Amino acid sequence: MSKRINTFTVTSITLAIAIALPQSIWATDKTYDALKTQVDTLTTELQKVQASLKTYEEKAARKQPVAGTTRGATLPIPNTLIHMAGYADVGYSDTENGDGSFVVGSFSPIFHFQYRDLVMLEAELEFEVEANGETRTALEYLTTDVFLNDNVTLVAGKFLSPIGQFRQNLHPSWINKLPSAPPGFGHDGAAPVSDVGIQLRGGLPLGNLRTNYAIYTGNGPELNAATPDGIDFELEGVRAEGFGADSDGNKVFGGRFGIIPIPRLEIGASLLTGKAAVNSVEDESLGTIRSVTGEADRDYDVYGADFAWQKNRWNLRGEYVKTKVGAASTGLTASPGAEWETWYTQAAYRFQPSKFEGVVRYTDFTTPAASTSQEQVAIGVNYLFTNNFIAKAAYEFNDSQSGSPANNDRLLLQLAYGF
């Protein structure tokens, strides 16, 4: 019912009453005053009706009708939702005994395509400008997530390793509170980067406690070996970066279990086990790398533990990861086993009411080669323009074998934006 109809109706009723009155009523002043009072009362009521109608129309205008539906009908929820997110960073790096350079860290768009509450496709691309000016493109992850129920999601494809916290949750530059990753959490480090396989992840109630978990199986890593003297082989590194083929035919099995005993405190434990084989050999005397096949399988095990605690302006976290590769007594690359071990602790404090934040991180990374083992203290100051746009300044005090690149201190500046 429109405002015009209401006004016309009430006015018509008023006029009808007036016309229906006997002519004698108009004869006296007393009768006239009574009639005037009735008209004034009707006018007041009409104004109230008009005000109520105006309020109703304003509320209805905020909820526009869909074509073919009645006024006030809500928009239907689409079957398919498309969402784009991601992050990017640029900065400056000045290494001891080197030249300072401006750098483009990465541009990493993330895509989500969801069909109802059944399935979601998610993928992250990574674009980086290398030192020689070339652009490197990589698929950081691509998975199909099937929501089985409120507690379990099936994830299939290439995914970030759920071992520990840093790689799966903290590595994006706008989330990481320092411009660099802790030593041992990058390529050829102690912590796996990614894998190709399937996993089940979610959360389960444990009494009054909250928990989360990830269980997976994947293709596993590839091992690199080197011949420092041209004769004896030594394990040089573990490449756990999500290979699209299983070169040794052996799958790895593992995952992480986290528990939140009190609000804002999470404690996690990780385990990964399986087999791995040497994939390539570097002849350090000639500076060449060659692929090898048919090598003996070696035991491959990863252990980890982590914690994260937030209280008021403080944010504390730490993580430990150890990778063990067994020995091989046969094959071209027969050699003893090796271990890669790293751990870090980090503290951040947000100054109020300013937007500045202080960060300090200590890391100890141990490898079979003294030249790549590293002890690091990183100190940084951040300015948070918003929660997803941050400016960072940090200095790394590095200690390694003399003459090794890992021994050089670094100044790092970075602008990181998450969108």
Which class for 380: exposed (0-12), middle (13-18), buried (19 or more C-beta within 10 A)? buried
User: Is the same domain home to 187 and 299?
Assistant: yes
User: Is the same domain home to 141 and 84?
Assistant: yes
Q: How far is CA 137 from the centre of its chain?
A: 20
The CATH number given to whatever domain includes residue 342 is 2.40.160.10
User: Is the same domain home to 254 and 149?
Assistant: yes
Q: State the Cα–Cα distance between residues 224 and 247, nearest whole angstrom.
A: 13
Of all helices (H) and strands (E), which one includes residue 49? helix 29-61
Please check whether residue 75 lies inside any domain of the structure.
no
- The reported pLDDT for the residue numbered 187 is 77
* Domain around 27: 3-61
Q: State the Cα–Cα distance between residues 124 and 343, nearest whole angstrom.
A: 27
Within 10 A of 265 (CB to CB), how many other CB atoms are there? 14
Q: State the Cα–Cα distance between residues 344 and 316, nearest whole angstrom.
A: 11
HSE value, Cβ hemisphere, 13 Å, CA-based, for 52: 9
Please check whether residue 67 lies inside any domain of the structure.
no
Q: State the Cα–Cα distance between residues 301 and 324, nearest whole angstrom.
A: 5
> Of how many residues is the chain composed?
419
User: Is the same domain home to 50 and 100?
Assistant: no
- The reported pLDDT for the residue numbered 334 is 87
Please check whether residue 70 lies inside any domain of the structure.
no
User: Is the same domain home to 88 and 20?
Assistant: no
Q: State the Cα–Cα distance between residues 143 and 154, nearest whole angstrom.
A: 10
Please check whether residue 68 lies inside any domain of the structure.
no
Indicate the pairing of strand 288-291 with strand 252-262: unpaired
- The reported pLDDT for the residue numbered 16 is 43
Q: State the Cα–Cα distance between residues 240 and 65, nearest whole angstrom.
A: 54
User: Is the same domain home to 22 and 130?
Assistant: no
Read off the DSSP letter of residue 214: E
User: Is the same domain home to 228 and 298?
Assistant: yes
Q: Based on the structure, what is the number of domains in the chain?
A: 2
- Note the pTM of the prediction, 2 decimals: 0.78
Please check whether residue 73 lies inside any domain of the structure.
no
pLDDT one digit per residue (tens) for the chain, 419 residues: 444 444 444 444 444 444 444 444 334 444 555 556 666 666 666 666 667 666 666 665 555 454 455 555 566 778 999 999 999 999 999 999 888 999 998 999 999 999 999 999 999 999 999 988 899 999 999 999 999 999 999 999 999 999 999 999 999 999 999 999 999 998 778 999 999 999 999 999 888 889 999 999 999 999 988 887 666 788 888 989 999 988 888 899 999 999 999 999 999 999 999 999 888 888 776 677 888 888 889 999 999 999 999 999 999 999 999 999 999 888 888 889 999 999 999 999 999 889 999 999 999 999 998 889 999 999 999 999 999 999 999 999 999 999 999 999 999 999 999 99
User: Is the same domain home to 305 and 216?
Assistant: yes
User: Is the same domain home to 342 and 276?
Assistant: yes
Please check whether residue 69 lies inside any domain of the structure.
no
